[in-house]
Structure 1
Amino acid sequence: MTVRNLDALFRPKSVAVIGASQRPGSVGAMVWKRLTEDAFTGPIWAVNPKYDTLDGHKAFGDVGDFPEPPTVAIVCTRPATWPSIIHRLGGHGTRAAIIVGETRGDEDRVHLKHALSAARPHLLRIVGPASLGVITPALHAHLGAPACTVKPGGVAWVSQSNALTNAVLGWAAARGLGFSHAVALGDEADVDAGDVLDYLASDAGTRAILLEVDTIHAARKFMSAARAAARNKPVLALRSGRGDPADGLYTAAFRRAGMVRVDSLDDLLDEIETLGVGRVATSSAATLITSDRGVAALACDAFHAAGDTLAPSSQQNAKAMSDALPRVTPGNPLLLGGDALPEHFGAALKVLADQHESGTAFVVHASTHRAPAEEVARVLIAHQRYAYRGLLACFFGGISLATRDALHQQGIPVHSTPQRLARAFARLVDYRLGRELLMQTPEGLPARVPQAIDAAQAQASAALKAGITELDGDAAAQLLAHYGLVALPAQRATEPAIVEVKIELRDDANFGPVFRFIAPSEDGIAPPLCVYGLPPLNPILARDIVSKSAYARYTDPEPVLAALTSVSQAVCDIREIVGLSLALRVMKDRVAVIEPHIRLSSTRSRFAIVPYPRRYEQTFDWHGQRLTVRPIRPEDEDAHRELIGAMTPDDLRLRFFGAVRGFDHSQLARMTQIDYDREMALIATVPHDDGSTHTLGVVRAVSDPDNETAEFATAVRSDQKGRGLGRLLMQRIIAYARERGTHWLVGEALRENAAMIGLAKACGFTVTSTDDPGVVGFRLALDEPEQ
């Protein structure tokens, strides 16, 4: 399960507390008090046979006595009661439960197992056990026992720790900060971090997600959900245990998902201020504005220590600033002078608005007699509209609560020191750069002849059939040679090497196959470089790994990138490879493999990130051409741009439900860089004479996280219409969805799109009306036998 029925947790309409009590100190009393104190607007019911009423609310003796099924039930009773309670709640129609109690022994764990079994037939979701609760402040829904009442805000908090959740909620409350949702996952017997990330990725009220995890369960689901969330909004992750041998793997997983890892709880708390109040940075640089030279020096030191970049200050900028503020010292930092007045800060923001290279505005101010902090704050609020690349403030000595709240209401984060402000900004920049890394188009995988891939797979299969599970020397070299990797006997490696990088593949119990790359330190004093990578790799991802090595500046990177990508492709293509070790000898302009060793097995764990699914490739004759239908790849971006450019304006309007002039890189990247675990786009291509390919059409299906329903869309070049290509692609996406176990395939089209409606009917879809009279819907049951 994933997001099924999670809306019941985050948008409850009615709540029941099983085991509600008035006994001081009891869990039932704490849960009941928190729910009633915050005045949840929907019906709330208490279940405890000892009471007729509880604080003016009717109490019931049994979970079957409710006048209607509660959306959510909070279970505060002992483990032995859980199975029967969950069974009756599920049968009554409740769709979610939060178990507050803990499992303390084998007997309790047996009760939990039976409770999960009782929930499954009803699709009832369980948070916990040992969960502090699920909080949605905007609905006054404190479902659990948090230590304080939580204000509404724009940041979601998700944690595996009850104690840390209570601490963070209390810290935020003391600073007037709030949350869109706060979730204490507990033991994650059912609902886990991946499920919650999946839900929050599309939650309109959540601008950013702060995640605290110790261990990731169900790595593939987590990675898929995290990548989807990070494409939409900042996701920051905190994991303790830097000394844990697996910690480097978590760092690689977070980065691969587009998340930003923070180093401390302080850093994560600062982001509640920055992300919950302000906008995400749209620039990688900033301009410091202050009145005092000493303050400017401290702020510059903090900025440089955080790895940030001061924006350049042009002569045009300096002149405009001098004209507006004759006593200013222009540049970056921008010094307004010790006698600056509050209005000078506003004038500086107004001038910077026209200087596009100035980046985000940092106002760092120590209160003076001529410019008290409260008055400067009021000027910032009045001029905030000019800082459209973002505005962050730091007031030495603090400000009043009323002033702080006023700044918050205008979307201006306030930090207590320049160091905290600079680090908070640096993490926003890290998110933006990480997201760009996800959206970059690879230079292209090394061309592999299908026959060579088939030959490599045949070699691995034949070895296993003969009882051979280890390939060394010539046998390993022969297999790798199919992927363009040249192996060199160690005794013949006479050419001076810049460095030898050790590459290992191991099958991690959680993340599946993972790479570890080890390079010696450059000076022999620093520790060796050791980084992890999750396959599949492409040249962009390989470059991100290589750039961490001090040796990167000594060699042409392209041969190294090609080699790392080729090793990854071999591992992805040949499912029999469960282990690998080799040394990559890096010379000035080429690389060679030394001492390769490959371990084979008939079974291997699943990849945390689904690699390119080559099994869906098909090539056949079609209207006198060799047509290939295959899954889309990131390097298809240029061909996809050409496909859209070859469609008439009217065809584009019918496909995208409005006038479309074209798509930028980020939009095309989203179309071509897909998560094969939950999305598929099949393209039809024909070869050009120059060896490039020409995309004639595309069909895609995006499934919901539960794989209940997938939504399809298709597009064909305008000059290829009427040749049956649309139907050919539709038949293949239907077969794909049916094979994947999806229950329904659905879609929509403008009512005037007669061609699409006719195609849908021909493929077996039922055509239905929608809420929009100009749009029709399509629906196909994939569980029914094919006609």
Structure 2
Amino acid sequence: MSVRNLEALFQPTSVAVIGASDRKGSVGSLVLRNLKLGGFKGPLWPVNRQHATIDGGPAWTDVASLPQAPDLAVICTPPGTVPELIAALGRKGTRAAIVLTAGLKQPSLQGGPSLEQAMLEAARPYLLRILGPNCIGALVPGVSLNASFAPGNAQPGRVAFVTQSGALATAMLDWANSCNIGFSHFISLGDSADVDFGDVLDYLASDAQTRAILMYAESFKSARKFMSAARAAARNKPVIVVKAGRAPDGAKAAASHTGALAGSDAVVDAAIRRSGMLRVDTLESLFDAAETLSHARPWRGDRLAILTNGGGAGVLAADALQLGGGRLARLSEQTMGALDQCLPATWSHGNPIDIIGDAPVDRYRDALRVLLAAPEVDAVLFMHAPTAIVPAAEIASACLTLIGESARPVLTCWLGGSAVAAARAACTAGGIACYNTPERAVAAWLQLVDYARNQEALQQLPAAALEGFLPDTLAASSLHERALQGGREWLDGACAHALLRAYGIPVVETVQVGDVEQAVAAAAQISYPVALKIVSPQIIHKSDVGGVALALASAEEVRAAAVKMREQVARLLPQAVVLGFTVQAMAERPGAHELIVGIATDAVFGPVILLGEGGIAVELHKSHAVALPPLNANLASDMITRSGLAPLLAGYRGRPPADQKSLVDTLLKVSQMACDLPWLAELDINPLLVDERGVLAVDARVRLRPVAPGEGSRLAIRPYPSALEERIEVAGHDLLVRPIRPEDGWRLMDFYAKASPADMRLRFFMARREVPHSELARYSQIDYDREMTFVALATMDSGDQIMAGEVRAACDPDNVRAEFAIQVASHWQGKGLGRQLLDKLIRYLRERGTAEVVGQCLVENLGMAALARQCGFQVSIEPSRDTMALHLQLR
């Protein structure tokens, strides 16, 4: 489920309080009081088996006796009563309930399912949605709903707050009221047995009254639903998250280096970043970020100018910016000259721009005007410390018009108390972000920088990724089958290297042998020097038991090293079964960087990719990055940047730059492994040597996992569905029809650019010369779990593929309705391509269980109307008389 019936939860027209009471301090009494004091305008029906009246009004003995089905029921009764109450509400016709009761994890009967599971089973036949259990309720000030036992009401506002912690919810509500912060929704999820973060994000994403969404999270579930909802919501409005539990305790038990480094908090970071949301560390930062993002101007870049009348305040801001990884704008000669014209000779002559403490109003205004016109300045932090010369309110009055008209972000910082209160109030009233300390203002700016980068990731048009690369999946499956038959959890070294070769990753020459003399013979075959490594299912980290010998230059050295290894293993790990040795050619790559690339499995988000510094002390390095697959070239490049490796790989002190493209390709191949191989639990490629000649995998560890029959994909983001590719014939031409890929953004740009003005008007219902970059990214980077776009590609004589047509559909979160659109290039119109594309889309939607397909076209688009009728659609003219409605029932 997703948004179905959530309107009954958050916009009810009637409410029943089950367990309502006159007993002072009881939950039932507090809920009824809050509903009344909140001003709820619909019928309120208290339910209590023992009392005919509650709070001076009539009460009902049970659900069946209510005058009609309430939209929403709030349940305040003991745990054992909840499942039957939910069943009774479902029979009555109620479609939403808030279960405040805790303790539903206990069994309903001895050895039976939990009360929570029984509650969900009771709700399922009626599609009754449940908030909770173990929550404080929900407040929606816009409809005067306070269905909670919170100690007070919420003020109306444009920010939604969603939390898993009831205690935090009450504290947050009290704090927000004291700061005059209002909410569109204030939602306590509790145990999230039914309604969870994904559902609420889907609902709030399309809520016109919500300008930003704030979340306090302790854990996530249903990763794919959450990621789909989060990415959709983050495209519409700012979504800001505080996630508790940053300590990586769960990583301590990991068997591989990758598993240890990719701790759960790092994975949450990766998920939030990939979805376009923003993560902050504190509740105070949560509201600062909401303030900043809600009033932000279009993003230009990260170069900040600091304008201040106090040198100390400017230095504090500059320090905070540098320590936070931000960037001061470097003022050009032209900007410096313009500032010289309006500032005294004693100004700071640099950024921060200190205009001196005696600055009159005109000095502020003139300096601000110069900075807002400077092309090298992307944003301005405007700071003022009170003086006796000019009241802060006058400075604010003079500068707010400039700030309000600016196309660039401007943040203000008014230091002090009562002397700057009027200036702060004026900024707030003018919709301008305002902070009371330099550090807090800079922190808010850095949040804006992070948010912009996350949003940019949603709008990238990546280059083509590994065109023509086809992994040898049969060879990979064969390795897995042999390991299963042998009862092994880990692939041996030779098989691990064979798996990498199957995915096109270069590896050193490796031979596995069973005894010492075979090792000597293999070394002679490979050529000296060689590396010798022990092979044992019980030994994962070979160096820990002396199981690695390097640069062996002769048969005698190989023989001696092998004997010594057996002796050390017998002494240090007597239970280990030694199966033999691997003999490898020594990788002669002096000066190469040692990296680690790997895959780990997160309990919630499934497979994740890791990149960082490698070698023996890999877990001591702090330079690493984690990302969710599937990756594209841009995401892989971003991993290199975030890992901190980019400066090393760029070359320094005569060391040539490394071949970063080969590293990007390796990350893409590892990502493909994560998508293709459900039985791959952990992978370490360590070290992966990277230099100007490319990459070379020296060692690899691969852990397997059992895969249950019918088990679905573990990936939090559905990968490219290659099974949907097919070839079709149109007018004697062979075309490839496949799902769109992110890297098709450039083809899509060309497709729209070459379309006639008439075709563009029929497609978009308005004349447009081009489609914005952000829209192209949205059209090409689709969520395959909720959307589908099929493109038809024709191969030109040059070998390039161009788009001949596209058909797309976006499904609602409940998969009830899909809205479609189609366009065919002028050259391909009238040849049957549109019919084949639309037929393929309908087949796909029918197979995924979508109930109906709808669309719209202009009344003059007779070709579209005829095509829709051919495919079984009902076509009718809409009341506006400008458009026709297209509708096809699938189930």
- TM-score, L = length of structure 1: 0.92
Taking the TM superposition and a 5 Å limit, the aligned residue runs for 1:367-516 are 367-399=386-418, 404-448=424-468, 453=472, 455-456=474-475, 459=478, 463=482, 471-473=491-493, 475-489=495-509, 490-496=584-590, 498-516=592-610
Deviation at 1:195, TM superposition (A): 1.2
1:674: Cα distance to partner?
A: 0.9
1:553 aligns with 2:657: no
Counterpart residue number, 1:95 = 95
Partner Cα separation in structure 1 for residue 339 and residue 54 of structure 2: 66
RMSD of equivalent CA atoms: 2.9
Which deviates more from structure 2 when the two are superposed, residues 406-415 or residues 179-188? 406-415
Which is greater in Rg?
A: 2
SS at match of 2:210: coil
1:694 is paired with a residue of what secondary structure?
A: strand
CA distance in 2, matches of 1:136, 1:171: 17
Counterpart residue number, 1:247: 265
What displacement does 1:523 show? 10
- 2 CA distance for matches of 1:331 and 1:771? 63
Q: Could you tell which deviates more after superposition, 649-658 or 545-554?
A: 545-554
1:55 Cα shift? Answer: 5.1
Does residue 287 of the first structure (1) align with residue 391 of the second (2)?
Answer: no
| Separation in 1, partners of 2:476, 2:736 | 21
The CA distance in 2 between the partners of 1:771 and 1:38, in whole Å, is 39
SS at match of 1:148: coil
Judged with a 3 Å threshold, the aligned counterparts in structure 2 of structure 1 residues 65 and 263 are, in CA distance, closer, same or farther, namely same
Separation in structure 1 between the aligned mates of residue 824 and residue 152 of structure 2, nearest angstrom: 56
Corresponding residue for 1:580?
683
Could you list the per-position Cα deviations for residues 713-760 of structure 1 after superposition, in whole angstroms to 9, with x for gaps in the alignment? Answer: 111001111100001001111111111111111111112111111111
Match of 1:257 in 2: 275
| Equivalence for 1:719 | 827
SS of residue in 1 equivalent to 2:649: helix
Instruction: State the identity as a percent.
Output: 41
Task: Note if contact 1:632-1:683 (Cα within 8 Å) is conserved in structure 2.
Answer: yes
- C-alpha spacing 1:56/1:5, structure 2 compared with 1 (3 Å): same
Summarize deviations over 1:239-271 as a string: whole Å, max 9, x none: 222222322222222222222222233322432
Structure 1 residue 362 and structure 2 residue 362: aligned? no
1:566 Cα deviation (Å)?
1.2
Which amino acid letter does the alignment assign opposite residue 356 of structure 2? G
Q: Distance in 2 between matches of 1:687 and 1:468?
A: 47
> Amino acid of the residue matched to residue 708 of structure 1?
V
Shift of 1:150: 1.7
- Distance in structure 1 (CA, Å) of the matches to 2:617 and 2:52: 76
CA contact (8 A) 2:245 2:265 kept: yes
Quote how far apart the aligned CAs of 1:210 are.
Answer: 1.9
Secondary structure, aligned partner of 1:699: strand
Aligned to 1:651: 759
392 and 52 in structure 1: CA distance in 2 versus 1, 3 angstrom threshold = farther
Give the C-alpha shift of residue 152 in structure 1.
2.3
Is 2:729 aligned against 1:595? no
Conserved? CA contact 1:456–1:574, under 8 Å: no
Which residue type is aligned with residue 286 of structure 1? L
Kindly indicate whether residue 177 of structure 2 is the aligned counterpart of residue 173 of structure 1: yes
1:600 & 1:118 partners in 2: Cα distance?
35
Code of the aligned partner of 2:157? G
Correspondence 1:301 to 2:287? no
User: Whole-Å Cα distance in 1 between the matches of residues 66 and 104 of structure 2?
Assistant: 31
Match of 2:132 in 1: 128
Counterpart contact for 2:212–2:294, Cα < 8 Å: yes
Alignment of 1:272-283 (within 5 A): 272-275=290-293, 283=301
Q: Deviation string for 1:85-142 (max 9, x for gaps)?
A: 2223223332211111101662467333222122112211101011112222222222
* Distance in 2, Cα, partners of 1:624 & 1:426: 56
Q: Deviations over 1:483-507 (max 9, x none)?
A: 3222213433122252333333344
Letter of the 2:391 counterpart = P
Task: Report the CA distance between 1:26 and its aligned residue.
Answer: 0.9
Decide whether aligned partners of structure 1 residues 752 and 92 sit closer, same or farther in structure 2, where only a CA change above 3 A counts.
farther
Distance 2:808 2:619 in 1: 52
Q: Cα offset for 1:706?
A: 0.9
Q: Structure 1 residues 61 and 379, CA, compared in 2 at 3 Å: closer, same or farther?
A: farther
Question: How big is the shift at 1:160?
Answer: 0.9
Indicate the larger mover: 604-613 or 619-628.
619-628
The amino acid that maps onto 1:749 is: C
CA contact (8 A) 2:624 2:644 kept: no
Following TM superposition, by how much is the alpha carbon of 1:173 offset from its aligned partner in structure 2, in angstroms?
1.8
Residue type at the aligned position of 1:249: V
Name the aligned partner's letter for residue 115 of structure 2: H
Shift of 1:707: 1.1
8 Å contact 1:536–1:568 — kept in the other structure? Answer: yes
Q: Which amino acid aligns with 2:689?
A: R
- Residue type matched to 2:39 in 1? A
Q: What is the Cα deviation at residue 525 of structure 1?
A: 11
Normalised TM-score (structure 2): 0.82
Higher mean Cα deviation, 346-355 or 74-83? Answer: 346-355
Inter-partner Cα distance in structure 2 for 1:226 and 1:644 = 29
1:230 to 234, 243, 246: 234
Please give the secondary structure, in 1, of the residue aligned with 2:320. helix
- Aligned amino acid, residue 227 of structure 2: M
Residue correspondences, number: 782
Which structure 1 segments of 5+ residues have no match? none
Contact 1:464–1:600 (8 Å) recurs in 2: no
Aligned to 1:562: 665
Query: Structure 1 CA distance, aligned partners of 2:102 and 2:772?
Result: 51
Mean CA deviation greater in 388-397 or 539-548: 388-397
The alpha-carbon distance between structure 1 residues 295 and 775, as it changes in their structure 2 partners (threshold 3 A), is: same
After superposing the two structures, state which structure 1 stretch, 308-317 or 653-662, moved more: 308-317
* 1:339 aligned onto 2:343: no
- Is the CA contact (8 Å cut-off) linking 1:448 and 1:483 kept in structure 2? no
Give the unaligned 5+ runs of structure 2.
252-263, 510-583, 652-657
Deviations 1:299-331 (A, max 9, x none): 222232333223343444445455556678365
Which range is displaced more, 151-160 or 497-506? 497-506
Greater displacement, 406-415 / 469-478: 469-478
1:635 equivalent to 2:743? Answer: yes
Alignment partner, residue 884 of structure 2: 776
CA 1:56–1:333: 2 relative to 1, 3 Å = farther
**Once the 2 structures are TM-superposed, how far is the Cα of residue 422 of structure 1 from its aligned partner?**
0.6
Q: Distance in 2 between matches of 1:342 and 1:383?
A: 13
The letter of the residue matching 1:629 is: V
Greater mean alpha carbon deviation, residues 238-247 or residues 594-603: 594-603
1:697–1:716 CA contact under 8 A, matched in 2: yes
1:512 deviates by 2.1
How far apart are residue 75 of structure 1 and its match?
Answer: 1.3
CA contact (8 A) 2:14 2:43 kept: yes
Shift of 1:458: 6.2
Q: Which secondary structure state, in structure 2, belongs to the residue aligned with residue 129 of structure 1?
A: coil
Give the equivalent residue in structure 2 for 1:757.
865
- Matched with 1:155 is 159
Looking at structure 1, the residues matched to 859 and 235 of structure 2 have their Cα atoms a distance apart, in angstroms, of: 32
Moved more, 162-171 or 755-764: 162-171
Aligned-partner SS, 2:743: helix
